[in-house]
Amino acid sequence: MARHLILLTALTLVFAGCVSRGAYEENIGNISERLKAEKSARSTDVKILEQRLADRGKTLSDLTGRYIKLKAEKDSAQSKLDGLKADLDALIKDMAELKLVIFTNMRGSEANEMMIKLNRMQKRVDRLLTKETEMNTAPAPPSETPVAPTSTPASN
C-alpha cells in the first residue's frame, strides 16, 4: 500500500509538471502576437523618427541654400559698394582739381559761390566715405545663441 501511495503521488507530480500541447501552443501564440504588436509599434516609431530626420535634413539643406544665396548677395553688394567708394574717391579728386581751376582762373562772387558749393559737396562725400569706413570696421554684433532653459525644483 505504501508503494501504491508513493506511485500515485509520483504520477500526480509528473502530470502536474507537464504542460498540455494545447496550452503550450496557446501560450506561444500569445507571445508571438505580442511580439508582432511590439514590432509594428516599433516600426511605426522608426518611420516617425525617419520622417523627422528627413525634415531636419531638408531644413538644414534649405538653410544652407539660403546662406549661400545671402553670401552671394552680400559679395555682390560689397563689390558694388567698393565700386561706389572708388567713384566717390575719384569725385573728390575731380572736385579738388575743379577748385584749383576756379581759384586760378575765376574771380568774383561767382567763383566764391562755386567754391562754397564745392566745399559742401566735398564735405558730404567725405562724410559718406567715413560712414562707409566706420560700418566696415565696426565689430559685428555678437550672435545670440539660444540657451536651454534650466528647470528649478518646485518649492512646496
**pLDDT-based confidence at 155, cuts 50/70/90?**
very low
Is 10 a member of any domain? no
**Mean pLDDT within 75-92:** 90
Residue 152 belongs to some domain of the structure:
no
Is the model's pLDDT at 137 over the cut of 70? Answer: yes
Which of residues 122 and 15 earns the better pLDDT score? 122
pLDDT category, 71, cuts 50, 70, 90? very high
Q: Does residue 11 sit within a domain?
A: no
3-state per-residue secondary structure call for 125-144: HHHHHHHHHHHHHCCCCCCC
Do residues 132 and 81 make contact, with C-beta atoms less than 8 angstroms apart? yes
| pLDDT, average across residues 87-104 | 87
For the chain, the domain total comes to 1
Q: What is the mean pLDDT of residues 131-138?
A: 76
Q: How confident is the model at residue 70 (pLDDT cuts 50, 70, 90)?
A: very high
- Residues 39-59: pLDDT tens digits? 999 999 999 999 988 888 888
Q: Is residue 104 part of a domain?
A: yes
* 95-114: average pLDDT: 85
pLDDT of residue 148: 47
* Selection from 88, 74, 77 nearest residue 131 by Cα: 88
Q: Is residue 7 part of a domain?
A: no
127 lies in some domain: yes
Most confident listed range (7-11, 43-47, 111-115, 132-136)? 43-47
| Distance, CA of 155 to chain centre | 37
Domain presence at residue 71: yes
Domain extent, residue 79, equals 23-135
Reported pTM: 0.46
Please check whether residue 27 lies inside any domain of the structure.
yes
